[in-house]
Amino acid sequence: MREYLELALDKVIIMNYNPEREVIIAFLEGEAMKNTFGGRLSALLQEKGIQQQELAKHAGVTEAAVSHYVNGTRIPRSSVLARIAAALGTSSDYLISGDSGNAERESEMNQLKRMIARSASQMSREEKMEIISILMGPD
């Protein structure tokens, strides 16, 4: 265990180590942090100009919980993760794994679905059929 700690010290700051239980609580730094859930969350918050307090309201969690997510000491449940992704205009997949291949498309698709769901009750049958024909495309 000691060997592992020495090898890892260049990438983490050890916050607490209990040798009896072999438990390490650590925070990643620098480049290593960018490739984590917390690093991606932090980068998106900065990019979108959203404060942790605002994200907490959108996600329905406390500011302390968001702080834990950003620092990498906790990972949110799937329902919270989905709300965080929606608030930041990204996908849960991107936040978890960094896979951004479909993140933009998924975000646009989610926005489109929400717009249609909000407007469907006020749309005429002809307007609904027009949307369907657009989606189905030419034969």
Q: What SS3 state is found at 115?
A: helix
User: Which of 22-36, 41-55, 124-138: highest mean pLDDT?
Assistant: 41-55
Q: Residues 6 or more apart from 1 whose CB is under 8 A from it?
A: 19, 22
Would you call 85 exposed, middle or buried from its count of C-beta atoms within 10 A (0-12, 13-18, 19+)?
buried
Residue 22 Ramachandran class (φ > 0 left, ψ -120 to 50 alpha, else beta): left
The CATH fold of domain 36-101: 434 Repressor (Amino-terminal Domain) (1.10.260)
78 in Cβ contact with 92 (< 8 Å): yes
Residue 40 buriedness (CB in 10 A; 0-12 / 13-18 / 19+): buried
Q: Which tokens in the block code for residue 121?
A: 């009750």
pLDDT (tens digit per residue) in 85-94: 999 988 888 8
Residue 100 to residue 133: CA distance in whole angstroms: 30
- Structure confidence by residue, pLDDT tens digits, 25-45: 444 444 544 578 888 899 999
Does the global pTM surpass 0.85? no
Residue type, 87: A
